[in-house]
Structure 1
Amino acid sequence: MSFVAPPGYQPIYGPTIPYLGPIHGGLREGMSIYLQGSIPESITRFFINLLCGESESSDIALHFNPRFDGWDKVVFNSCQDGTWQSEEKIRSMPFQKGQVFEMVIIVTSQGYQISVNGNEFHTFQHRIPFERVRAMQIAGDVSIQTINVIGVSLPEHSGFQGMGGQPIYNPPVPYSNMIPGGMYPKRTIIIRGMVPYGAQRICINFMVSRSRDIAFHLNPRVREGIVVRNSMIGGTWGQEDRELLCHTCMSIRSGNQRFKVFVNGQHLFDFFHRLQSFNEIDLLEINGDVQISYIHF
């Protein structure tokens, strides 16, 4: 049976602007919203609203409104019962005309913590309980490539496990860190990144820390247009598997018999376990010419 990501983990790619879409299950503390997009040269303004319903007339818990009007600023606000409340104006502009951006909205107990391109920008204090948020609205002079709601709490009987904890944003590469709780059946790890022009070498390794065995070696070779998969057990490389290259947002799901790799929500390939006990895998390493936006265990 093929794996289909649950609604909260399935990124939305290339949405039409204006956009209005649900946030499945609403918001909870610790969740975050990841946006990747670009700003046109001719921009005047755009906005992102977190809505307390799935219609444009719903209360707005967060109104985020960058304005390029000669006095560049970002306006924050909320709207309740059809009435706008007091504006917060930040007279600083984290976006640049004609440039791509990455934006993260993190839900904390105090407010919405906004970061742009890896830099913390502003925290908008809650005026309306974040538990009421049910949808997102985006409109204006902006192009969005990806929307991803991270950290959705799923019911135990859903069959999707292992997506707990806080995402790691903009980690430095080379990256090496323990996998909290190790690998186990039905665990999914999402890696979002960008391969810069001219990239030559990238590798993602799922390893056993005590032996340094590489249970799953994932090696996109950009110039050749392929993805090589392999393992290295007892210091010896195994036989390579190869697939056509495809990258942007990758999710890797473990099962009893194999790793299943999905790219941009589509199943790309399987890699069958070569270690006798794959639950010994407890280390993730990423090296090479890649910029990682986030890792979510």
Structure 2
Amino acid sequence: MLYFRVDFNFHEGAQRDADMPLHLSIRFDEGKLVYNTYKEGNWSENEQRIKNPFKPNEEFDLRVRIINGNYQVFANRVEVGSFQQRMPLDGVDHVSISGDLANLRLFHYGGRVFPNPYAAIAKVVPGKRLDVSALPTVVRNAMTNNVWGTEEREGGLPINKGEIFDLTIINEEFSFQIFMNGKRFAAFSHRGSPNDIETVEIDGTVEVLTVTVNDAVGV
């Protein structure tokens, strides 16, 4: 099966001709990633194009970050382009993904600017998972009574400087299962009760994009 185009749109309403402040089109037939807007029944003449970073018939990761009046576009966790926002997003109430897409594994909408250091209440009991997306030897440790334990450093550093990474920590009965970019990275055995976790804190040279606590139904 050949794949040609996948369109990602922000809509102001559910009507067929609703305005679109954001239209991204992954065009495998042209080898381009296209940005445009649609207003009052007309496409903007200012269509912007960059090289398509994706390959046909392969799984891909597309992320759009809206910041400082621009759309930052990330392809497979690497920034590939930035487009200036032309229309306000106040009226956006629908998102659509259409085209030659075999399977949509995950869709997440939302976000905010996180402070650094970041701290929040997070009841991560067994059966829960903590997901963190951020820009970065991964060290695991635990502190008890204000005393650090023995560090665990096996596994190297499976991320690159300047790239987005996804960190998932699943709290299981006997250990934390740690995943980097969807792949199992390490296990860290509990050194205290797994039911006593009340907060999450993120600090260091990193820009936090999203933090969520979910039921651990899969990675």
TM-score bin, normalised by smaller chain? 0.5 to 0.7
Q: Secondary structure at the match of 2:62?
A: strand
1:42-191 equivalences in 2 (<5 Å): 42-69=2-29, 71-142=30-101, 143-151=103-111, 165=114, 180-181=118-119, 184=121, 190-191=130-131
Judge conservation of contact 1:103–1:115 (CA < 8 Å) in 2.
yes
Partner of 2:176 in structure 1? 218
Equivalent residue letter for 1:48: F
Q: Secondary structure at the match of 1:272?
A: coil
Equivalents in 2 of 1:184, 1:206: separation in Å? 20
Report the structure, 1 or 2, having the larger helix content.
Answer: 1
Judge conservation of contact 2:28–2:55 (CA < 8 Å) in 1.
no
Gaps of 5+ in 2: 151-170, 180-186, 204-208, 213-219
Gaps of 5+ in 1: 1-40, 153-163, 167-177, 194-202, 222-227, 239-270, 285-293
Equivalents in 2 of 1:206, 1:53: separation in Å? 49
Equivalents in 1 of 2:189, 2:24: separation in Å? 45
How far did 1:121 drift? Answer: 1.6
Equivalent residue letter for 1:218: F
The two structures, once aligned, show a CA RMSD in angstroms of 3.9
| Per-residue CA distance 1:118-168 (angstroms, 9 max, x = gap) | 22122221111022221111111113110012326xxxxxxxxxxx727xx
Report the structure, 1 or 2, having the larger strand content.
Answer: 1
Judge conservation of contact 1:189–1:295 (CA < 8 Å) in 2.
no
Equivalents in 1 of 2:210, 2:39: separation in Å? 35
Q: Secondary structure at the match of 2:190?
A: strand
**Across the two proteins, how many residue pairs are aligned to each other?**
169
Equivalents in 1 of 2:15, 2:140: separation in Å? 44
Q: Percent identity over the alignment?
A: 19
TM-score under structure 1 length normalisation: 0.47
Q: Secondary structure at the match of 2:147?
A: coil
How far did 1:229 drift? Answer: 7.9
How far did 1:72 drift? Answer: 1.5
Equivalents in 1 of 2:33, 2:9: separation in Å? 13
TM-score under structure 2 length normalisation: 0.61
How far did 1:76 drift? Answer: 1.2
Partner of 1:208 in structure 2? 143
1:197-276 equivalences in 2 (<5 Å): 207-208=142-143, 210-212=146-148, 217-219=175-177, 230-232=189-191, 271-273=194-196
Judge conservation of contact 1:44–1:68 (CA < 8 Å) in 2.
yes
Equivalent residue letter for 1:151: G
Partner of 2:154 in structure 1? none
Q: Secondary structure at the match of 2:13?
A: coil
How far did 1:93 drift? Answer: 1.1
